[in-house]
Structure 1
């Protein structure tokens, strides 16, 4: 058990650091839990518990740095929570298998579009929001919240891309604001997993501590190194998420 905890803590640290920068940390943390022999339904619960702690810490650090636009996200958070709650409720009744074919294509599209547009997300061009852009933001907040509760892989990438495309944020600001929504959807899912007894806390607590430390490192790197660090990591994780989903 001790060796298993050490393994998931190491990979938990790495996944949280990457996730804080660009999203896609679940690509590292969830396989680590499965690697040490934890059953899938319990691995999902442990991962959601630990990643929620990491995303909360990232959100807090980004907020303290002034990178989170609370005037905007205050409108989006309730719809993300509602969407995630409905997503978890739905996945208990409907198989998410059909998304395995659709999501990789969408994530690849996001990666290719970002790669082609060399200046996308490099400069912060946010100049406030209008009613139309706020409504569009509410739609993506609800939709991606639902998706995260229902299925999950690539949520961070989609959120970052949405903040850049809709509001003109740079990659660092997009990562900061997406972390707040990501934590919201994680929290909604976590509540249900905990309610149904799907979390093994003897694994979840050590992994959560490692992910809090990892998220702190990743967030600081994103803030100090800027969009030119975040963009290549974002592209790499987008394509890795797509590849992983294709071979599932």
Structure 2
């Protein structure tokens, strides 16, 4: 790729990582950007995963530093995410992920509408504590979204935030921190498998990753400072935009 394309991808990556670190959905920007510039679909998935993993690692460290996550539950969910992501990557190497589009469109619209209409969602942390019920729900979330992230990816962060809000009653900031840490686990699992199968264009992935690290650092600090008043409207906006983009892709 020419230097102009690389610069364009770095700008795209920075913007995607900034948004993703707050409300998820950065893949809405970064993955299409790679494909528009001519990267084949499977290589685009692998390359985007490498760059976004660097960003999610940076964002996760910031949430951990400020202790905005729940270790008591996440220690159980990490293994579910690993298993789901590994199965997801293995699946995407053999199956066309476009078959997921209609399902994801419906889910994204539901997430956006529910988050928009539920007035008190995420305003307080009402998590009931670690028990068999919350561990079971958490494992279902982590395995399902780990698989989705390895198989397709875009929107995973938004789904994590939404499910932690609605099923486990965390507030917006803890939901974002938990989701970003688990998202990193599934990302690194996916990157290893994509790399072993030779599906990463490192000449593109490395400069894009550098830009995404800066975007993630800035976005995470903004999310921690502003909490629900920023995360909620951005989550709604991102999910609506992603659904609209996918509808456009299906039509064309």
Quickly name the TM-score band, shorter chain normalised. Answer: over 0.9
1:92 offset after TM fit, Å? 2.3
1:95 offset after TM fit, Å? 2.7
1:111 offset after TM fit, Å? 1.1
What is the aligned length? 248
Cα-to-partner distance string for 1:152-206 (whole Å, 9 max, x where unaligned)? 2321111111111122111111111100111111111111111122212121111
1:74 offset after TM fit, Å? 0.8
1:68 offset after TM fit, Å? 1.5
* Residues 202-213 of structure 1: pairs in structure 2 closer than 5 A: 202-213=203-214
Deviates further, 94-103 or 45-54 = 94-103
Cα-to-partner distance string for 1:25-59 (whole Å, 9 max, x where unaligned)? 00111122223322222222111100000001100
CA distance in 2, matches of 1:34, 1:151: 14
1:4 aligns with 2:5: yes
* Residues 226-237 of structure 1: pairs in structure 2 closer than 5 A: 226-237=227-238
Cα-to-partner distance string for 1:129-167 (whole Å, 9 max, x where unaligned)? 321111111011101111111122321111111111122
- Give the TM-score, by structure 1 length: 0.96
Aligned to 1:217: 218
CA distance in 2, matches of 1:197, 1:103: 27
CA distance in 1, matches of 2:114, 2:214: 32
Aligned to 2:21: 20
Cα-to-partner distance string for 1:77-127 (whole Å, 9 max, x where unaligned)? 111010010111122233333211111111111111111111101222224
CA distance in 1, matches of 2:96, 2:40: 18
The answer (yes or no) to whether the contact 1:129–1:167 under 8 Å persists in 2 is: no
1:73 aligns with 2:103: no
1:59 aligns with 2:60: yes
Question: Which runs of 5 or more residues in structure 1 are unaligned?
Answer: none
Change in Cα spacing, 1:241 to 1:174, as seen in structure 2 (3 Å) is: same
1:134 aligns with 2:163: no
* Residues 83-122 of structure 1: pairs in structure 2 closer than 5 A: 83-122=84-123
Change in Cα spacing, 1:96 to 1:30, as seen in structure 2 (3 Å) is: closer
CA distance in 1, matches of 2:92, 2:39: 21
